[in-house]
Amino acid sequence: MRKLQILLTIILIVTLAAFTWVYAQNTSGTDRLTGADLAEIHHLHSLYNQGTDFGNAERWINVFAEDGIFRIGDSGEWIGRDQITEYRRQTFAPRPANYTYRHWNSSWVITPNGNGSATGRVYWMGFDPSAEPLVISDTGYYDDIYIKTANGWLIKERHAHPDPASASGGGTRPVALQPR
């Protein structure tokens, strides 16, 4: 457990350093994202993750614009709030009451588009914190388009790209992290 804490601390430090670097690179007038913009976009990811992990569909859905688009690899696309809401309703329905799963994001690269929007790429990792030993269930990255609205930043488009299973792992992705 101590090694997991160290790993998560290192990931947090690297994430904050990357976030600071991205902010420092955006210094050209209207193409600039403020620290508040970046923090708000970062917060969207937290709402998305916690909405998913704790079964709060409303929290998850509300990170998307009304005409938002959500894609998962090449396996599905949901356009607009109604379709996105239906997708989330269907995916939450079969979950057991004791569902445990956590998402972790890192390596944000967010680039302003100069028109009240920005693009971003963010890594994700998913794991079950109750598993002994800890198992990383899935990884991937998001390609996003964010828009700034009167009510703050929202996700206009999210394309989730799950990483493929490793060649040595056969058809399954989980990798157990063994305590040392």
Is 64 within 8 Å of 151 (Cβ atoms)? no
Tell the residue number behind the tokens 């269930």, with chain if given.
137
Strand runs labelled E in 57-151: 64-72, 76-79, 102-112, 117-128, 134-149
Res 147 pLDDT > 80: yes
pLDDT digits (tens, 9 = 90+) for 67-99: 999 999 988 999 999 999 999 999 888 888 888
pLDDT digits (tens, 9 = 90+) for 37-52: 999 999 999 999 999 9
Whole-structure pTM value? 0.75
